[in-house]
Structure 1
Amino acid sequence: MITRYAPESFDLWPVSGGDGGWLHLDGTVGQDEVGSVLCTLYLHSGGRDARTAAAAVHELIGFDTLCGLGGLLLDGGDGVRVEPVGTDLFEWRTWLHALHRAPVDLGRPPAPWVEHVGVDVVRVWVAEGRDVPHVDLPRTALPAMLRAAQRDLADFLVPLRSWAGVHSPHQVELLVASVDAGLQITEPLPL
């Protein structure tokens, strides 16, 4: 998930409506949603001055780090949802640490936080403190959860490639490679 950030003044390419809502990154996103994702990554990573879509894409490709608030959204199935707060989407792999009972950084308070309960349970609190709801995940479920997240992100590269073909056709492969590397999408998971 990424927090959509597309100010009304942004006019380099079409973006989907709404600012601040969650956008699930997978192969089903529309072209305007891809535009919103790239707008978010562009602006949060430091882009400001491009006057054309091609110039903004060129700048985006050159960023050392792609920033955009987001991460994994956990749904406990009982109405409890743990939303990523204050972390960047590129940090989604921090969940690998939970496999080894190591700390998982989910952002600054009041961000969600992780507690290891016994040997087999990863408890994720929705916010700071213990007087808030939580989701319990079996540690054995983490590999499948991370593979699913990686699959969704890899599927997102398909509409991204289509978007780039329209808005920056000379930079398609560079943009896809940059987003892939910046979000560590297709890099094998050490599971």
Structure 2
Amino acid sequence: MLIMDAVLETYGATGFTLWPIAEPSVDRLLPLSGQLSPRQVGTAMAILTDYDKEDGEGGVPAPENGAEQIRALVTAECVAAPGGLRIRDTATGVTALPGCCFGLENWRDWLVLADGERPWLGHDPTPRVEHVGETIRLWPDADRTEGLPIDIPRARLPDLLGSVQEELVAFLASVGRWAEQCAPPVAAALVGKLDEGLVISAPLPDSRG
């Protein structure tokens, strides 16, 4: 069985104190969905707001409290998120992790795989794609020769990406509920900013004909 999900890297949440967050998982990856606890949503928002905010250099003061930190994200030029798409093959136990510098905001780049293209998916690890007939063969790390690939039937890709989108839409709803408690005046704007910046709810192209 193939499972694809959107994950955030949570290394940047270490020492965060502006609102309650959850203890990090061992792998420091947080799958985004509508099933997150309020503290897990807090962790996700700690990452998203801290990753995109100004750092106080150049005469720009750093946010002093949670509400200011959230407003800074709402007014930011763009949204960037460390992480990306993770895909697991439960039959073989192989997992392909998102590469560095790809970013969750680029998750729709996976769509071009259906057209036979080979998108850049980051580095360290460096996922590598081969097209073998109607199979998309994904090697978790091109810099390591050992291990097995993950074979993705081309016809399955729309459903896999559709499941990612469904979980991200549910995550947005969780963010809205969380923000109503933390920063009610900008809760709707925050959800809109994340939706636009991470390109979540816009329809996916139907490549199934």
With the shorter chain as reference, the TM-score category is over 0.9
Q: State how far apart, in whole Å, the 1-side matches of 2:152 and 2:161 are.
A: 12
| Selected match of 1:168 from 160, 166, 183 | 183
Q: State how far apart, in whole Å, the 2-side matches of 1:60 and 1:16 are.
A: 21
Query: In the alignment, is the contact (CA less than 8 A) between 1:112 and 1:124 conserved in 2?
Result: yes
Structure 2: give runs of 5+ residues left out of the alignment: 1-6, 56-61
Partner of 1:127: 141
Could you tell me how far 1:133 is from its partner in structure 2? 2.3
Q: TM-score, normalised by structure 1?
A: 0.93
Q: State how far apart, in whole Å, the 1-side matches of 2:29 and 2:54 are.
A: 21
1:15 aligned to 2:21? yes
Q: State how far apart, in whole Å, the 2-side matches of 1:88 and 1:176 are.
A: 19
1:98-143: per-residue Cα shift (whole Å, max 9, x none)?
010112221025321211112x010110101443321000000000
1:35-70: per-residue Cα shift (whole Å, max 9, x none)?
111111122223441111111111011222222221
Q: State how far apart, in whole Å, the 1-side matches of 2:148 and 2:106 are.
A: 23
Alignment of 1:55-74 (within 5 A): 55-74=68-87
Letter of the 2:75 counterpart: G
1:180 aligned to 2:195? yes
Query: In the alignment, is the contact (CA less than 8 A) between 1:72 and 1:83 conserved in 2?
Result: yes
Aligned residues, how many? 189
Alignment of 1:1-191 (within 5 A): 1-4=7-10, 5-8=12-15, 10-18=16-24, 21-48=28-55, 49-77=62-90, 78-86=92-100, 87-118=102-133, 120-129=134-143, 130-191=145-206
**Bigger proportion of residues as strand:** 2
Secondary structure at 1:124's aligned position in 2?
Answer: strand
Could you tell me how far 1:168 is from its partner in structure 2? 0.3
Query: In the alignment, is the contact (CA less than 8 A) between 2:52 and 2:76 conserved in 1?
Result: yes
Letter of the 2:205 counterpart: P
Query: In the alignment, is the contact (CA less than 8 A) between 1:84 and 1:106 conserved in 2?
Result: yes
Q: State how far apart, in whole Å, the 2-side matches of 1:37 and 1:47 are.
A: 18
Structure 1: give runs of 5+ residues left out of the alignment: none
Letter of the 1:90 counterpart: E
Query: In the alignment, is the contact (CA less than 8 A) between 1:47 and 1:56 conserved in 2?
Result: no
Secondary structure at 2:79's aligned position in 1?
Answer: coil
